[in-house]
């Protein structure tokens, strides 16, 4: 009996050491497993967000009147001035649109931070993903270019349409399309991400200057 007690006392420290090491190993595995679950969840969200691609969040429609007038230089003969060519003029009444969007494919793993039941996502800056004229709903008026060659007429009309499209872009920016895109991201995109992740989503945006993508 005494020998048994001595044997137990002899091996007891070793049993304690083995038990402590086993407990530490289990804790490490549990911690590692938890980290892996978080990483998989983040990657799953990232994959689903990338599948959404460039998400259009707002669209503005415009109706504009654009006029171009080019005055031909006169030749001064002292007693009188002579215009070898008449002035050219064109008016375009157009309808067009511009869309604000966020390119979700630019989101990286580093842009998604997890804290408990909350995900913090940094979104790319909003973009004007397109601005264009609806050719079927646009009409040319008061076009005074009859004297021009065919190529010059074509260039004049193209310039008129280009100026009208640039005005759509300018009007969209002045109307606050990028700010509206941000607001709609909170009201449209946030609930979608919360549904995907089953977590509370806090959105923020890059602080860089907004970029404009011209797909025309």
Reading the chain (216 residues) residue by residue, the pLDDT tens digits are 555 445 554 555 555 555 555 656 555 555 544 444 444 466 767 777 777 778 899 999 999 998 888 766 666 555 555 555 667 888 899 999 999 999 988 888 888 888 888 889 899 999 999 999 998 998 988 777 777 778 888 888 888 999 999 999 999 999 999 999 999 999 988 888 888 888 898 999 986 444 444 444
- Res 127: pLDDT: 93
| Cβ atoms 91, 157 nearer than 8 A | no
Tell me: do 57 and 130 sit in the same domain. Answer: yes
- Res 142: pLDDT: 79
Q: Which domain holds residue 16?
A: 1-51
Tell me: do 94 and 199 sit in the same domain. Answer: yes
Tell me: do 127 and 60 sit in the same domain. Answer: yes
Tell me: do 43 and 58 sit in the same domain. Answer: no
List the structure tokens of 19. Answer: 């038990």
| Cβ atoms 216, 131 nearer than 8 A | yes
- Res 74: pLDDT: 60
Tell me: do 118 and 200 sit in the same domain. Answer: yes
> Whole-prediction pTM value?
0.66
- Res 77: pLDDT: 57
Residue 108 carries which DSSP code?
A: -
**Domains in the chain, number:** 2
- Res 146: pLDDT: 72
- Res 209: pLDDT: 46
Q: How many CB atoms lie within 10 A of CB 191?
A: 11
Tell me: do 60 and 7 sit in the same domain. Answer: no
- Res 38: pLDDT: 44
Cβ burial of 192 (10 Å; 0-12, 13-18, 19+) is middle
Tell me: do 191 and 106 sit in the same domain. Answer: yes
Tell me: do 98 and 8 sit in the same domain. Answer: no
Residue 110 carries which DSSP code?
A: G
What whole-number distance in Å separates Cα of residue 45 and Cα of residue 110? 13
- Cα pseudo-dihedral 167, 169, 173, 175, rounded to 10: 60
Task: With H, G, I as helix, E, B as strand and everything else as coil, classify residue 22.
Answer: helix
Tell me: do 40 and 60 sit in the same domain. Answer: no
């Amino acid at each position: 009996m005494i020998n048994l007690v001595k044997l137990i006392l002899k091996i007891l420290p070793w049993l304690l050491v083995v038990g402590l090491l086993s407990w530490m190993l289990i804790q490490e595995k549990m911690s590692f497993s938890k980290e892996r679950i978080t990483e998989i969840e983040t990657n799953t969200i990232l994959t689903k967000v990338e599948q959404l691609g460039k998400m259009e969040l707002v669209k503005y429609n415009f109706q504009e009147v654009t006029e171009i007038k080019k005055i031909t230089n006169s030749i001064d003969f002292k007693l009188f001035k002579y215009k070898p060519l008449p002035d050219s003029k064109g008016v375009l009444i157009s309808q067009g649109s511009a869309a604000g969007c966020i390119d979700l494919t630019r989101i990286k793993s580093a842009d998604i931070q997890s804290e408990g039941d909350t995900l913090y996502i940094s979104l790319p800056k909003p973009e004007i993903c397109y601005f264009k004229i609806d050719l079927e709903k646009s009409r040319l008026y008061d076009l005074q270019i009859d004297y021009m060659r065919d190529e010059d007429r074509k260039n004049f009309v193209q310039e008129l349409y280009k100026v009208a499209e640039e005005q759509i872009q300018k009007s969209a920016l002045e109307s606050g399309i990028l700010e509206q895109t941000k607001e709609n991201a909170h009201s449209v995109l946030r609930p979608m991400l919360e549904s995907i992740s089953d977590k509370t989503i806090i959105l923020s945006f890059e602080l860089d200057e907004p970029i404009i993508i011209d797909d025309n």
